[in-house]
Structure 1
Amino acid sequence: MRPSQNPASALAGRALALGLALLMATGCALPPLGLPSLNTPGGRADPTSAASQASINRGPFVAAANPLAAEAGMAVLRRGGSAVDAAVAIQAVLGLVEPQSSGLGGGAFMLVFEAATGDLNVYDARETAPAAAGPNLFEEDGRPLSFRDAVLSGRSTGAPGVPALLETAQRAHGRLPWSSLFGDAIRLAEDGFIVSPRLSGFINSRAPQAHTEWAEAYFTKPDGTRYRAGDRLSNPAYGASLRLLAAEGAAPFYRGQAAERIVTAVRAGPRPGALTVDDLAAYRIERREPLCRPYRLYLICTAPPPSSGVSLLQALALLDASDFEAAPPQSGEAWTRFAEAQRLMYADRDRYVADPAFVGVPVGGLLDPAYVIDRARGIDGVFEAAPPEAGTPPGASSRAADATTEPAGTSHFVVVDAEGDAVSMTATVESVFGSGRMANGYFLNNQLTDFSWGPVDQARGPAANAPGPRKRPRSSMSPVIILDRQGRFVGALGSPGGSSILAYNLKTLIGMLDWGLEPQAAVNLPNLVARGAGVGADTALFPDIVREDMAERGLILQENATENSGLHAVIFRDGRPLGAADPRREGVALTR
């Protein structure tokens, strides 16, 4: 059923009104996006008025990490499907053709904007730990496991959220019959699809998850060689899972034979996990209020904890408070300030952000104007050798230092339908091919290694993001939706990248909203990630003069050693979608 009223609307309205007041006081100008304006500043447009209907930004538009997935989503939109209908089809195909990144065995955060009402919906499909999980989840004989052993163990897998997410969101926002959304994915699974160069690279990599008994069985051809780019790969078990999902919904994945097969794979050696059918049956999608804050003349909205969206908003606020806009665009000074703001953001994020059902997350304190201004005093265009410590935002409790490691393996896509409804969704199985274990034709996540695990600080206790029973690990996934002054949809973006997701999303927002770049140019900007003592960047993409200026300011670039970006974005200009797909991956942006 469609919810009759989303409490997020009131929240967004209050944040928008506050933002307009601040912006009018500071005299900020609109970035050069050519957006339409209604004569009702500070309030939402009347969705029934002709002027409002004419101003709604409408699709079809799809940007996704694989052309086959993007085409499946566009085919649904051509049949009159909603943005969420298309999202179901896209994710079903991505789980097959990009299994290193996301799938039915993983989790996600989804933002859904409804043009007719202005409502913004947030679905938290983050995986949950078993009831038996505790602070010693990844210890053996009193010592922490190596990260490799932890990932490959059954202990790394949490109850997956994607099947429940797709069904829950489609019930609320779908237009087409649920069972009609899986045809392309089923056909590709049963008839086979052509292995892409990116998938081939992971199949034939040294990643240990690509060489488990499950992966060996799936990725080895009858002649004993591994599949490579250009080969046709089929997955009948995945096709059967999709047929079950289409016919019976998500329930069998949490209470039926499919659930039992998940538990069997998790409980296999070496190092079996504690996930049970009761843990799967207890899984629930969380509907959360969106986290929205003004930036320039826009409202930037994202997911709240356990997503790290609050940190993305904090970084924007830090840049705003540091007079970032006064630095010449794309200059050495601008990039240095960008890196300084990141380090402050990550220091606070790592210390405080976690599952809000288990720890108090000082969301308001992290975004408190006085606190942000105080933190921003350290942003001066000079990069200090010593990384900053976490601050003490209002409402924060004492927390132990964080020890979370976030590896690669995530995907993001954006959809806008003919009615103007939009989806921004980031999904993951965590590492490449997740835990390397499979059930029902798909890889199972290793999401529980996203917890902070290590020795407990005896003075401060466990870290905020420490493991716990039925707890959701903190996530860097932070899908974004951008609204205009009237609360209308303007654009959306997101990226994979582990902890670097925040830096990639931040770079793209700055490129579009501060430097006036079209989405593709903003996505194409060099990546620069500054977290703690580490600085990673697309060094070859920076002009020599900019790199030299950064070096004079103390910012010495190193090659990015984390998962690279896979950004997808859209901005509407005069009712026309300007889309972007990251050239660092295989994604495409489609407008028809």
Structure 2
Amino acid sequence: MTAFPAAICAPAAMPDAPAAATRPPGTAIASAHSLSTDAGLEIIRAGGNAFDAAVAVSAALSVVEPISSGIGGGGFFLLHDAKSNRDVFVDARETAPAAATPAAFLDAAGELDRNRATNGPWSAGIPGLPAALVHVAQTYGRLPLATSLAPAIRLAREGFPVYPRLVKGYATRREVMERYRGTREVFLADGTPPQVGEILKQPDLARTLELLAAQGHAGFYQGEVAGKLLASVKEEGGQWRAEELSGYRVREREPIRLQYRDWAITTAPPPSSGGVALAEILQLLKGWDLAKLDPPHRVHVITEAMRRAYRDRTIYLGDPDFVKVPLARLTSADYAAGLRATVHPDKATPSDLLSGQPAPLEDDETTHFSIIDSEGNRVSATQTVNLLYGSGLVAPGTGVLLNNEMDDFALRPGTPNAFGVMGFDANAPAPGKRMLSSMTPSFIESDDKIAVLGAPGGSRIITQVLLGILAYDDGLSAQQVAALPRFHHQWMPDVISVEAGGLDAATVSALQAMGHTVNAGETTWGNLQTVSWDKRSNTLDGGTDPRNPVGKAAVLPSAPH
């Protein structure tokens, strides 16, 4: 595939370090935009920790990456507090309005109304990201929320240069974006669509962030902003209630933990499907020494593990506050051993031979950032508005671009969503329920190294993180992990998707001979962001996905004492 640039911040080699360091030598941040990485570094310089920096990076991304995320959406924050040695998963996933029943998304023929599911007010869940910013700042940060939000407020008020991905995405979604008065006020403020290099200012969004900074949770979910959100949804034909906004709260959940070879892995629990699928795949792969397999057989067994995990994702997973998820079973070594026994060493398993019936028992969309600070605190955060520019609807007077996460529910059981992923009753919408996600923020730790990683990409998030973990296990640097060519399988459709040039012709032919269908010429996908700390050399390393030219990984050394 295309040659990618060298590491942005490769670590200095110190091969003979006598013992593991106990604290990192500074802070490393990798995010999908240089301005958001800079926002995080600004807060570190101001005396903040990784959690304050996470608020700054998240909010800045909400300003400069409206194509991917924003305070009209939601996200997941995986945190490690070094002082208490505690990991916590902050679930800021959007929730379903009471009016958004499955029947509301069917047309007259009983088929899924794709327009209603992905565009405008009906496609939007109650946003969770503003609540996460408040919660993370107040519970884990050391600086006032107003301080951590200041860089994002400045970017919204003063503007930032428009880059090609925003223009391309707008062209894709233009017809939808220009349906709505509030969206036109932001993106057609000068009468023309955004152009590369022009400055995009969002004064209403700056005002909304100022209210959030001053009033906390109430600054978004009650009062002026909430009133404008409710009025906009009603104006465009949707149905939200004031109590659904004011009642939104994040959930703190226990992460999923597992061991793969020498790595302790901490990852996302439901309502993310990512950690469960990741655990199932890695448990399955323990049965092979991947380093000893030739390329076709390595891809084959990884694909077969992906196939089985995505099938279980479809059948079993949903919001654990509403459905019983067989978590212990799906992540157990015994269950993986049973699945492993069904993998033929040289033949593909057709997906339609794996039962798709319920058993008795995130392209450019979405964004991710990773942080390690000098105290050893860590943040792996993935946030999204779902598809490009979410629902396309900006609520007038707020600058808030609403998500279209309702499409991540199984709005019509057995009907694929925009990412081609199916679901059944476990992921059907219900009032206050959180839709299933693929976001997979993760930590991995060995005796020698700690890494933080995650990615956008809809259903392909999980396999990006998987390949990233396997790459760290192979000894690759953070930048090599971010640039690694990708392949993906999700049970249905039954095809291995591969970035153009990601597999050589001989490997593709061998896989086809095993019975796999291989699409070996897809465009690149994802936007992986990762940072790592080598405890033996006591060096920090960052990797930003070269598929996204505006991303940035940076290391800020600690000030000498």
Tell me whether 1:339 sits opposite 2:303 in the alignment: yes
Counterpart among 47, 59, 78 of residue 26 in structure 2: 59
Q: Provide, for residues 559-591 of structure 1, a one-character-per-residue CA deviation record: whole Å limited to 9, x for no partner.
A: 576982110112222221121111111311111
SS in 2 for 1:143: coil
Counterparts in 2 of 1:87 and 1:167: CA distance versus 1, 3 Å: same
In structure 2, what is the equivalent of residue 143 of structure 1?
A: 110
**What letter corresponds to residue 260 of structure 2 in structure 1?**
Y
SS in 2 for 1:491: strand
Counterpart among 498, 521, 527 of residue 486 in structure 2: 527
In structure 1, what is the equivalent of residue 435 of structure 2?
A: 473
What is the distance in 2 between the residues matched to 1:36 and 1:509?
24
TM-superposed CA distance for 1:133, in Å, is 3.3
Q: Summarize the alignment of residues 205-216 of structure 1 with structure 2, pairs less than 5 Å apart.
A: 205-206=172-173, 208-213=175-180, 214-216=182-184
What is the distance in 2 between the residues matched to 1:386 and 1:296?
29
CA contact (8 A) 1:500 1:562 kept: no
SS in 2 for 1:536: strand
What is the distance in 1 between the residues matched to 2:29 and 2:390?
26
Q: Provide, for residues 426-470 of structure 1, a one-character-per-residue CA deviation record: whole Å limited to 9, x for no partner.
A: 00111111111112102101111100122689xxx9621111111
Q: Summarize the alignment of residues 482-521 of structure 1 with structure 2, pairs less than 5 Å apart.
A: 482-484=444-446, 490-513=450-473, 515-521=474-480
SS in 2 for 1:373: helix
Tell me whether 1:257 sits opposite 2:220 in the alignment: no
Tell me whether 1:68 sits opposite 2:20 in the alignment: no
Tell me whether 1:582 sits opposite 2:538 in the alignment: no
What is the distance in 2 between the residues matched to 1:71 and 1:380?
49
CA contact (8 A) 2:368 2:383 kept: yes
In structure 2, what is the equivalent of residue 415 of structure 1?
A: 371
In structure 2, what is the equivalent of residue 218 of structure 1?
A: 186
Tell me whether 1:294 sits opposite 2:259 in the alignment: yes
Q: Summarize the alignment of residues 379-398 of structure 1 with structure 2, pairs less than 5 Å apart.
A: 379-384=343-348, 386-387=350-351, 398=360
What is the distance in 2 between the residues matched to 1:408 and 1:142?
32
CA contact (8 A) 2:314 2:424 kept: no
TM-superposed CA distance for 1:59, in Å, is 3.1
Counterparts in 2 of 1:577 and 1:233: CA distance versus 1, 3 Å: same
Query: TM-score, normalization: structure 1?
Result: 0.84
Counterpart among 529, 533, 549 of residue 510 in structure 2: 549
Tell me whether 1:284 sits opposite 2:249 in the alignment: yes
Which consecutive residues of structure 1, in runs of 5 or more, have no partner in the other structure? 1-31, 39-50, 400-405
Q: Summarize the alignment of residues 104-123 of structure 1 with structure 2, pairs less than 5 Å apart.
A: 104-123=71-90
**What letter corresponds to residue 530 of structure 2 in structure 1?**
A
CA contact (8 A) 2:124 2:403 kept: yes
Counterparts in 2 of 1:303 and 1:441: CA distance versus 1, 3 Å: same
**What letter corresponds to residue 313 of structure 1 in structure 2?**
A
What is the distance in 1 between the residues matched to 2:16 and 2:183?
49
SS in 2 for 1:99: coil
What is the distance in 2 between the residues matched to 1:410 and 1:520?
20
Q: Summarize the alignment of residues 170-185 of structure 1 with structure 2, pairs less than 5 Å apart.
A: 170-185=137-152
Counterpart among 161, 164, 173 of residue 197 in structure 1: 164
TM-superposed CA distance for 1:379, in Å, is 3.0
**What letter corresponds to residue 186 of structure 2 in structure 1?**
Y
Q: Provide, for residues 496-527 of structure 1, a one-character-per-residue CA deviation record: whole Å limited to 9, x for no partner.
A: 000110111111111111x2212221222211
In structure 2, what is the equivalent of residue 445 of structure 1?
A: 403
Counterpart among 412, 416, 420 of residue 454 in structure 1: 412
What is the distance in 1 between the residues matched to 2:54 and 2:382?
11
Q: Provide, for residues 36-56 of structure 1, a one-character-per-residue CA deviation record: whole Å limited to 9, x for no partner.
A: 898xxxxxxxxxxxx8xx422
Counterparts in 2 of 1:489 and 1:445: CA distance versus 1, 3 Å: farther
Tell me whether 1:357 sits opposite 2:321 in the alignment: yes
TM-superposed CA distance for 1:264, in Å, is 1.9
Counterparts in 2 of 1:184 and 1:560: CA distance versus 1, 3 Å: farther
Counterparts in 2 of 1:117 and 1:335: CA distance versus 1, 3 Å: same
SS in 2 for 1:591: strand
In structure 1, what is the equivalent of residue 419 of structure 2?
A: none
What is the distance in 1 between the residues matched to 2:515 and 2:118?
36
**What letter corresponds to residue 452 of structure 2 in structure 1?**
A
Q: Provide, for residues 253-287 of structure 1, a one-character-per-residue CA deviation record: whole Å limited to 9, x for no partner.
A: 11212112112222233xx3322111111211101
Counterparts in 2 of 1:153 and 1:183: CA distance versus 1, 3 Å: closer
Counterparts in 2 of 1:34 and 1:279: CA distance versus 1, 3 Å: farther
**What letter corresponds to residue 98 of structure 1 in structure 2?**
E
CA contact (8 A) 1:115 1:489 kept: no
What is the distance in 2 between the residues matched to 1:489 and 1:245?
37
Counterpart among 48, 53, 59 of residue 86 in structure 1: 53
SS in 2 for 1:578: strand
Counterparts in 2 of 1:492 and 1:230: CA distance versus 1, 3 Å: same
In structure 2, what is the equivalent of residue 274 of structure 1?
A: 239
Q: How high is the sequence identity, in percent, across the aligned residues?
A: 35
What is the distance in 1 between the residues matched to 2:112 and 2:179?
18
Cα RMSD over matched residues? 2.7
Counterparts in 2 of 1:321 and 1:76: CA distance versus 1, 3 Å: same
What is the distance in 1 between the residues matched to 2:247 and 2:314?
28
TM-superposed CA distance for 1:345, in Å, is 0.8
Counterpart among 429, 432, 441 of residue 388 in structure 2: 432
Q: Provide, for residues 517-562 of structure 1, a one-character-per-residue CA deviation record: whole Å limited to 9, x for no partner.
A: 1222122221111112132110323233333333333334315769
TM-superposed CA distance for 1:142, in Å, is 5.8
What is the distance in 2 between the residues matched to 1:104 and 1:553?
46
CA contact (8 A) 1:334 1:381 kept: no
Query: TM-score, normalization: structure 2?
Result: 0.88
TM-superposed CA distance for 1:484, in Å, is 3.1
Counterparts in 2 of 1:310 and 1:33: CA distance versus 1, 3 Å: farther
CA contact (8 A) 2:28 2:541 kept: no
**What letter corresponds to residue 554 of structure 2 in structure 1?**
L
What is the distance in 2 between the residues matched to 1:37 and 1:493?
27
Counterparts in 2 of 1:391 and 1:512: CA distance versus 1, 3 Å: farther
TM-superposed CA distance for 1:131, in Å, is 2.6
SS in 1 for 2:134: helix
**What letter corresponds to residue 23 of structure 2 in structure 1?**
I
CA contact (8 A) 2:503 2:520 kept: no
What is the distance in 1 between the residues matched to 2:477 and 2:89?
26
SS in 2 for 1:62: strand
SS in 1 for 2:104: coil
**What letter corresponds to residue 184 of structure 1 in structure 2?**
P
In structure 2, what is the equivalent of residue 564 of structure 1?
A: 525
What is the distance in 1 between the residues matched to 2:480 and 2:347?
26
Tell me whether 1:318 sits opposite 2:296 in the alignment: no
TM-superposed CA distance for 1:128, in Å, is 0.6
Counterparts in 2 of 1:332 and 1:33: CA distance versus 1, 3 Å: farther
TM-superposed CA distance for 1:33, in Å, is 12
CA contact (8 A) 1:408 1:498 kept: no
SS in 2 for 1:159: coil
SS in 1 for 2:54: helix
